[in-house]
């Protein structure tokens, strides 16, 4: 497209698009005023998430944290709980960290200043552009996937939008066509066109307000654009999770743990789980012979004996209610121990060994409960969930666990240093019942598993 033609097309695009937006914009809760805090929250929620999904979350969030100060002062657990189900939880943590910066650095007022807004935690060029243009009407572009798609099609741009250089080019283009005095409306109008008309798979060109000068459509290329090189598919991982059921005083409860302070799903709650051994590792494990299995079986047998002895007044009886579970658990220690080595395609063994090694937690898997899937941006989790009986936590934590897993404590009569008191859980572990689901924040996959478990056990 020649420069002159592009300039004419840009003028047409801005004019027609704004007229269309004025007549057709959706009444969305964050469009009812120009409060920069409300715009900030909505833009963060809308990243990777559909408008329909966001609306109820946004309304609950604004009710609970109506100002930047409320958000800054809230316990993180409450913020995560309010975000639960939206995914990409680092967005919530960053938003709260940014709110705290606004309070500390700017007295609780979001600044009308590009450099200051861009320095807030979690605020990238898109969010900064959205806040500055929508709240303060600054002539700043806000270029997300929708905007890149619309502009690539309208101007017939063939740059790979996965490349940072292409994004920078489209940002410059977008900045150059923002009409005077209407930056916020223009940015929202492009996004709205991308969401409602110029959609990824089937653009509704015949209803499009800028059809008459759309170069992509004129070339018959609207469905091929934008060019985007494929991202690497998420890495598959199978996790083995334990639904450890309480018994005696803890009947009806299950054991959960808090994730580490950093990394994926930081500080959220989950069922204890370990990475499943891959096929190669499993065959290596089998080739290692009966000695290792016997050692593991002995660890588990010992765990069960000690746990049973510990649970004063609680007879050796499975806590599980199903006939299946009872049958699987009957026969006590010897059967349980051999089951741990042989049943579940080696997975009982992998789960109990893994939890002992990683967390010092001794459990006895009983049977497969459910299978779940969850896709993160870079990992695809298949989660196999096993009902399990609680043994105990090794006193001394992971170090003791390493010794036990190495076979030291598997010697007949050997001591683990005494099991931890069943009520005295290590930091970051809890027994929870259905009532606790309202206060603890879980990633979606564990939320589904636990809600399903408590419903079926009710
Ligand atoms: Fe998108 Fe079609 Fe409109 Fe062009 S005419 S901007 S391809 S919907």
Question: Using CA atoms, how far apart are residues 362 and 173, in angstroms rounded to an integer?
Answer: 60
CB-ligand 1 contact for 255 (6 Å cutoff): no
**Ligand 1 within 6 A of CB of 209:** no
Q: What is the pTM of this model?
A: 0.72
Beta-carbon count within 10 A of 167 CB:
18
204 CA from centroid of ligand 1 (Å): 7
* Length of the chain as a residue count: 458
Angle (nearest 5°) at CA 312 between 307 and 315? 75
Ligand 1 centroid–CA 154 distance in Å is 6
CA of 172 to the centre of ligand 1 (A): 20
- What pLDDT is attached to residue 417? 37
CA of 25 to the centre of ligand 1 (A): 17
Residues with active-site annotation: 43
Mutate to test the pocket of ligand 1, among 177, 211, 218, 219 (most ligand atoms within 8 A of CB): 211
203 C-beta closer than 6 A to ligand 1: yes
Cβ atoms 68, 103 nearer than 8 A: yes
Q: What is the best residue among 145, 148, 151, 154 to mutate for testing ligand 1's pocket, by most ligand atoms within 8 Å of CB?
A: 154
Q: Is the CB of 156 under 6 A from ligand 1?
A: no
Residues in Cβ contact with 199 at an 8 Å cutoff, skipping those fewer than 6 apart:
none
Q: Which atom of ligand 1 is nearest to the CA of 209?
A: 3
Q: Taking the alpha carbons of 41, 43, 44, 47 in that order, is the dihedral positive or negative?
A: positive
294 CB within 6 A, ligand 1: no
Per-position DSSP letters for 122-190, written without gaps between them: T--HHHHHHIIIIIH--S-----HHHHHHHHHHTT--SBTTSHHHHHHHHHHHHHHPPTT-HHHHHHHH
DSSP label of 425: P
Residue 226 in contact with ligand 1 by CB distance below 6 A: no
Write out the two tokens for 407.
């076979």
pLDDT given for residue 398 in this prediction: 53
From the CA of 214, give the closest atom in ligand 1.
4
What was the pLDDT predicted at 375? 87
Spell 367-404 as b/e; 16+ CB within 10 A means b: bbbbebebebeeeebebbbbbbbbbbbbebeeebbbbb
Ligand 1 midpoint to CA 171 (Å): 19
User: What are the residue ranges in the chain where pLDDT is below 70?
Assistant: 1-7, 279-345, 395-423
Helix (H, G, I), strand (E, B) or coil at 339: helix
Q: What is the pLDDT of residue 409?
A: 30
Q: Which atom of ligand 1 is nearest to the CA of 225?
A: 7
pLDDT for the residue 400: 52
CA nearest ligand 1 atom 6, residue: 154
- The four Cα atoms 112, 115, 116, 122 give a dihedral, to 10 degrees, of 110
State whether the beta carbon of 333 lies less than 6 angstroms from ligand 1.
Answer: no
Minimum-distance ligand 1 atom for the alpha carbon of 222: 7
């Amino acid at each position: 497209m020649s420069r002159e033609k592009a300039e004419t097309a840009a003028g047409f695009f801005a004019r027609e698009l704004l007229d269309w937006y004025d007549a057709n914009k959706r009444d969305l809760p964050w469009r009812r005023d120009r409060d920069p805090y409300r715009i900030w929250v909505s833009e963060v929620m809308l990243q990777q998430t559909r408008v329909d999904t966001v609306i109820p979350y946004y309304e609950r969030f604004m009710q609970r944290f109506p100002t930047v100060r409320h958000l800054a002062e809230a316990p993180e657990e409450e913020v995560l709980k309010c975000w639960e189900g939206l995914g990409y939880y680092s967005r919530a943590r960053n938003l709260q960290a940014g709110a705290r910066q606004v309070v500390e650095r700017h007295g609780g007022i979001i600044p009308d200043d590009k450099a200051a807004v861009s320095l807030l935690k979690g605020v990238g060029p898109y969010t900064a552009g959205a806040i500055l243009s929508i709240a303060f009407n600054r002539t700043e572009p806000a270029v997300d996937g929708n905007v890149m798609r619309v502009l690539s099609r309208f101007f017939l741009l063939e740059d790979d939008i996965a490349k940072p250089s292409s994004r920078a080019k489209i940002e410059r283009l977008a900045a150059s066509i923002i009409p005077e005095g209407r930056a916020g409306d223009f940015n929202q109008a492009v996004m709205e066109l991308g969401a409602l008309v110029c959609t990824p798979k089937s653009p509704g060109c015949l209803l499009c307000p800028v059809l008459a000068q759309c170069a992509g459509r004129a070339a018959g290329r609207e469905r091929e654009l934008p060019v985007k090189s494929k991202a690497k598919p998420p890495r598959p991982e199978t996790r083995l999770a334990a639904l450890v059921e309480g018994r005696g005083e803890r009947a009806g409860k299950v054991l959960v743990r808090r994730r580490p302070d950093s990394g994926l799903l930081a500080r959220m709650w989950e069922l204890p789980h370990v990475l499943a051994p891959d096929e190669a590792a499993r065959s290596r494990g089998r080739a290692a012979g009966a000695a290792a299995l016997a050692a593991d079986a002995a660890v588990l047998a010992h765990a069960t004996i000690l746990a049973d002895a510990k649970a004063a007044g609680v007879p050796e009886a499975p806590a599980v209610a199903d006939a299946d579970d009872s049958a699987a658990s009957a026969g006590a220690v010897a059967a349980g121990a051999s089951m741990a080595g042989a049943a579940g395609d080696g997975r009982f063994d992998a789960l109990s060994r893994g939890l002992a090694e990683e967390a010092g937690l001794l459990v006895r898997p009983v049977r497969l409960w459910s299978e779940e899937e969850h896709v993160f941006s870079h990992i695809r989790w298949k989660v196999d969930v096993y009902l399990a009986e609680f043994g105990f936590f090794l006193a001394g934590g992971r170090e003791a666990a390493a010794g036990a897993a190495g076979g030291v404590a598997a010697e007949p009569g050997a001591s683990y240093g005494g099991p931890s008191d069943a009520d005295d859980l290590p930091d970051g572990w809890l027994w929870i019942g259905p009532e606790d689901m309202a206060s603890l924040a879980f990633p979606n996959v564990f939320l589904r598993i636990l809600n399903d478990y408590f419903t079926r056990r009710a």
